Structures are given as C-alpha cells and as structure tokens.
Structure 1
Amino acid sequence: MLTFTIRRLILAIPTLLFISLVIFLLLQLAPGDPMAQVPLTVPPEVKEKMRQALGLGQPVYVQYWKWIVQFFWIEPQVLIDNIFGTSLTEGKLRVISWQTRSPVMDIVYQRLPQTLWVVGVAYLVGILIALPIGIYSAYRQYSVFDNAGTFVTMVGFSVPPFFSGVLVIVIFAVNLGWFPSIYDTTHKVTDWASFKVQLNQMFLPVMVLALQITSQISRFMRASMLDNLNQDYVRTARAKGLSEWTVVMTHVLRNSMIPVVTVIALGIPSIFGGAIITEQVFKVNGIGQLLITSIQANDLPMVQTLTFIFAVLIVLFNLVADVLYGILDPRIRYD
C-alpha cells in the first residue's frame, strides 16, 4: 500500500502540470482587458507601467513558468510562514491579483476559513445523516421509511441550491425570523456565546448544502447495501448463527462502503463548486464568492489559482479513495 501511494503521488505530478497548462492556456484565450477597469483619468504611460508590473507584457511561457513556481514553491512557504511565524518568503515576488492588487494566495487564505466553516460542517452533517438513512432504507426496503426517504432525497437532489437557498431564507429568516439571512464573515468565535451565534448563522447555508449531500450519498448507500444483502456470504453468516446486527453492520456494511467511498471522496471537491452558488445566496465571503467576483472582474491570476486548487483537490481525493479501497477490502492489493 505504501508503494502504491508513493507511486500515485509521483504520477500525480505530471497530471497536475498538464491540468495547470490547460487551465492557463484556456484562460489566456479569455476575452477582455484586465486594465479596462482602470479609471480613464489615468495617463496612458501610467497604464503601461501598471501593465508591465502585472506581467502582462511578458511572453505567455514566462507567465506560465512564474505561476507554476509561485504555486508549487513560494506559496507553500507562505503557508509555513503563516503557521509557524517564519520569514521564508520575505522579499520574494508574489503573483498579484489584478482586481485587488494584493497577493493571490493571501486573499485565498483569508477566504478559505469561511468556506471550510460552511462546506466542511455541511459535508460532515450530510455524511452522518446519509449513511444511516441509506442503511436502514435498504434493510427495510419498500417500507414507509424507505418510500419517504426516497421522496425526500429525490426532491433534495433535484432542487438546485439557488432555489432551495432562497426558499429557506423566505421561510426561516423572513417569515419565522429564526436565523439570519446573511452570513456575517466578520464574526469571530471567542467564547461559548459567540460560538452559538456562529452556529446560528451557519444553519441555513449548511442545511442547503447538507440536503444535496445527503440525497446523493444515501441513494448510493441504499443501492450498495441492496446489492450485498442478497449475496451468498450474507446467508452463510446468518446460517452460522451470527446476530442480525453483526451480519448487517460488520459484513454487509464493510463491503457496501467500497463504492460509497468513491462518492464521498470525489464529492469533496465538487461540493466546493456547489458552495459557489450557496455562498452567493447567503453572502458568505468564501472562495466560491471570490471565484465569481474574479471572473466578473477578469482577474486571470485569481481565477487560474482557484481553478487549479479545485483540480488539486480532485487528484488528491482520487488517491484517498484508492487507499481507502485497500483498507475496506483486504482482497484489493495494489503492490
């Protein structure tokens, strides 16, 4: 397993480089001039100096190389500096956002905690709800619980977040007044009272995202459990006198989790994409909203970085899913 993991990590390097090249070239072809938002009162010679300072006058391959070095070498050092208080990147050039004139990754680091608060909690809540629902629905197939769960999950999976987000705002924020409709990104958790305020403002966006996550994972869990409940090894385990809890929760569940792991692992990057809409609806100042505003402002360095971060997450969690396969099923061997 260790050899397989190391080999996959090595193979991920050319994969990510190819993805980064495709992203960079596609965004270079995007129409629009990043200097278009500069006021008309700025003299032409000043605009030209700004263009050179932003790297717009350099060849494409030079811009790409600088961006790659920045992402893989300088920005990890920035993260180390932020965590341990070191000064590894002092005096080094940084990729600058055309929109804010600030280092790109500094802005991402500022926005990322807000997204993790909402997306991370929503994904955890969605998994904790989806797995029991899928297991019990399969075990009690065609029962009232199974039919009700199927209806709710189909609705949750079909309704887009821009509709469900507005719907819960109208019901719970406007009519009932239970929760705020706008997420306060300036709020800081310092004590129990501020933590309760944080949970209160997180409830609506987390509920919208968790509904989609629960709908998808519970359906996969139910289908996988149904495939395994009728297998010969289940009848053999019951014939040996094992309790129903042991048969279902030990033997059936472990084998059923193998395809579900793929959905859970690969769903983590995709839920960040879903959070783009949710963050817009609830005004969460996260990386999803940052991506939308960067696209609107034609901020290519920011769009390239955020898009590539999503690609890195997909490659990373593909590896995580493969490793979990070997842990869940001893028959799977990679070495």
Structure 2
Amino acid sequence: MFTFTLRRLLLAIPTLLFISLIIFLLLDFAPGDPTAQLPLTIPPEVKAKIRESLGLGEPIHIRYLLWLKQFAVAEPLHAFDATFGTHFGEGMQRVISWQTRSPVGDIIAQRMPQTLWVVGLSYVLGTLIALPIGVLSAYRQYSWFDQLGTFVSMVGYSVPTFFTGVLLIVIFAVNLGWFPSIYDTTHVVSDWDSFVFQVRQMVMPVAVLALYNAAQISRFMRASMLDNLGQDYVRTARAKGMSEKVVVLVHVLRNSMIPVVTVIALGVPTIFGGAIITEQVFKVNGLGQLLITAIYANDIPMVQTLTFIFAILIVLFNLIADVLYGILDPRIRYD
C-alpha cells in the first residue's frame, strides 16, 4: 500500500503540472484586458504601466512560472527567485488580481475559512446523515422508514438549492426570526455569544447543502447495500451463526462502502465549486462566490488559480479513494 501511494503521489506531480499548463494557456489566450474598462481619458502610457504592474509585459513562460510559484509550500522559493528574479523585478513577486489589484493568494486565503466552515461542514454532516439512512433503508426495504427516506431523498435531490435556501430564509429568518438571513463574513468568534451567533448564521446554509448531499449519498448507499445483501457470502455468514449485527455492519457494510467511497471522495471537489448558488443566496463570501465574481469581472488570474485548486482537489481525492479501496476490500492488493 505504501509503495502504491508513493507511486501515485509521484505520478500526480507531472499530472498536475500538465493540468496547470493547460489551464494557464487556455485562460491566458482568452480575450481580456484589465485596462479595457478604464476611462478613455487615461493616456495609453498609463495603461501600459498598469499592464506592466500586473505582469502582462513579461514573456508567457515567465508569467506561467510566476503563477505556478504561488502554489509552493515555502515562499519565497530562493532558488526560483535567484533564477528568475531579474525578470520579475521587485513588484512582480506575486500574482495580482485584475479586479481588486490585490495578491490572488491573499484573497483566496481570506475566503477559504468561510468555505471550509459552511461547505465543508455541510458535506461532513450530509455524509454522516446519509450513511446510516442508506443502511437502514436497505436493511428494512419497503418499510415506513425506507419509504420516508426515499421521499426525503427525492425531495432533497430534485428541489434546487436556491429554492430550498429561499424557503428557509422566508420561514426561519423572516417569519420566525430564529436565524439571520445574511451570512456575516466579517464576524469574529471571540467569546461564547459570538460563537452562538456564528452557529446560528451557519445553520441554514449548512442545512441546505447537507440535505442535498445526504439525498444523493443515501441513495447510493441504499443501492449498494441492497446489491450486497443478496450475495452468497451473506447467506454463508448467517449460516455460520454470525449475529445479524456482525453480518450487516461488518461484512455487508464494508463491501457496500467501496462504490460509495468513490461518490464521497469525488464529491468533495465538486461541492466546493458547486455551492455557488447557495453562497449567493446567503451572501457567503466563499470560493464559489469568488469564482463567479471573477468570471463576471474577467479576472483571468483569479479564475486560473481557483480552477487549478479544484483540479488539485480532484487528483488528491482520487488518490484517497484508491487508498480506501485497499483498506475496505482485502482482495485488492496494490503492492
């Protein structure tokens, strides 16, 4: 397992480099100019200096390496600066957003906690809710619990998140006044009262996303459990006198988790980018909202960086899913 993991990690490096090159070239060649929306009265030489301050006067390979540098763990990279420092100049050490004129890395670092708190927590809660519901629905097929779980899952998966979000705002924020309708991203948790307010403003956006995620994962869990409950090894385990709890929770659940792991692992990157609508409804300034704003503003450096971050997450969680396969299924041997 260790050899396989190490081999996949080494393979991920050239894969991500190739993906980063494709993302950078596709968006860099797209039409767009940070000075296009400036007033016509601004002299051309001033616009040229603005473009130069944003790094657009450098060769494309220098701009690519500068853009790639922001993903390094240690910054600044002294060897990188020693090699290319004469090209970048003093003001060219960081990738600058065309929209805000601020470093792209700093903006993403400011938005990341909001995404992790709301989107990340909703995915964890949705997964924890979906797994037992899927297991019980399959084990008690056609019971009232299965019918209720199927109904809730169909509603949660078919109803769009913007409708669910607006509905919760009308009921719990406008009519009942239990929760704030707008997420305050400037709020800082410093004491118990501020913590309670943070939890209150997270309840509705987390509930909307958790319902959508739980609806999808519970259906996969139920289908996988039903497929394994009829297998020969289940009848053999029962014939050997094993308790029903051991048969279901040890043998059936372990084998049923193998396809579900793929859904859960590959759903993590998509939820970070797919929560754009929910973030817009509740005014959560997360990565999804940042991406849609950057697209509208034609902020090419920001779109490049966020797109590559999502690509990193996809490659990383693909690796995690493969490793979990070997843990869940003893028949799988990578070494």
Q: Same fold (TM over 0.5)?
A: yes
Q: Is the 8 A contact 1:123 1:213 kept in 2?
A: yes
Number of equivalenced pairs: 322
Aligned-partner Cα distance in 1 for 2:201–2:71: 35
Q: CA deviation at 1:61?
A: 3.0
Q: Is the 8 A contact 1:115 1:286 kept in 2?
A: yes
Q: Any idea what the Cα deviations from partners look like across 1:115-172, whole Å, max 9, x if unmatched?
A: 1000121011101110110000000111111112112111211122222212211222
Q: Is the 8 A contact 2:157 2:216 kept in 1?
A: yes
Q: Extract unaligned runs of 5+ from structure 2.
A: 78-89
Aligned-partner Cα distance in 2 for 1:195–1:77: 33
Letter of the structure 1 residue corresponding to residue 70 of structure 2: F
Q: Is the 8 A contact 1:34 1:297 kept in 2?
A: no
Q: 1:84 matched to which residue of 2?
A: none
Letter of the structure 2 residue corresponding to residue 105 of structure 1: G
Q: Identity of aligned pairs, percent?
A: 75
Q: Is the 8 A contact 2:96 2:104 kept in 1?
A: yes
Aligned-partner Cα distance in 2 for 1:163–1:48: 46
Q: 1:278 matched to which residue of 2?
A: 278
Q: CA deviation at 1:191?
A: 2.2
Letter of the structure 2 residue corresponding to residue 309 of structure 1: I
3-state SS of 1:36 partner: coil
Q: 2:219 matched to which residue of 1?
A: 219
Q: CA deviation at 1:41?
A: 4.3
Greater shift after overlay, 154-163 or 199-208?
A: 154-163
Q: 1:309 matched to which residue of 2?
A: 309
Q: 1:257 matched to which residue of 2?
A: 257
Aligned-partner Cα distance in 2 for 1:13–1:284: 33
Aligned-partner Cα distance in 2 for 1:206–1:8: 33
Q: 1:247 matched to which residue of 2?
A: 247
Aligned pairs (5 A) from 1:12-27? 12-27=12-27
Letter of the structure 1 residue corresponding to residue 229 of structure 2: L
Q: Extract unaligned runs of 5+ from structure 1.
A: 81-90
TM-score by length of 2: 0.92
Aligned-partner Cα distance in 2 for 1:210–1:39: 45
Q: Are the structure 2 counterparts of residues 282 and 142 from structure 1 closer, same or farther at C-alpha, using a change threshold of 3 Å?
A: same
Q: Any idea what the Cα deviations from partners look like across 1:251-270, whole Å, max 9, x if unmatched?
A: 11111111111111111101
Q: Any idea what the Cα deviations from partners look like across 1:14-73, whole Å, max 9, x if unmatched?
A: 2112211221122123333221233444332111111111122233333223212x1343
3-state SS of 2:285 partner: coil
Aligned-partner Cα distance in 2 for 1:175–1:44: 55
3-state SS of 1:34 partner: coil
3-state SS of 2:186 partner: coil
Aligned-partner Cα distance in 1 for 2:246–2:76: 46
3-state SS of 1:285 partner: coil
Aligned-partner Cα distance in 2 for 1:36–1:165: 36
TM-score by length of 1: 0.92
The runs of 4+ residues in structure 1 deviating greater than 6 Å are none
Q: 1:129 matched to which residue of 2?
A: 129
Q: Any idea what the Cα deviations from partners look like across 1:229-280, whole Å, max 9, x if unmatched?
A: 1111111111121111111111111111111111111111011112222111
Letter of the structure 2 residue corresponding to residue 93 of structure 1: Q
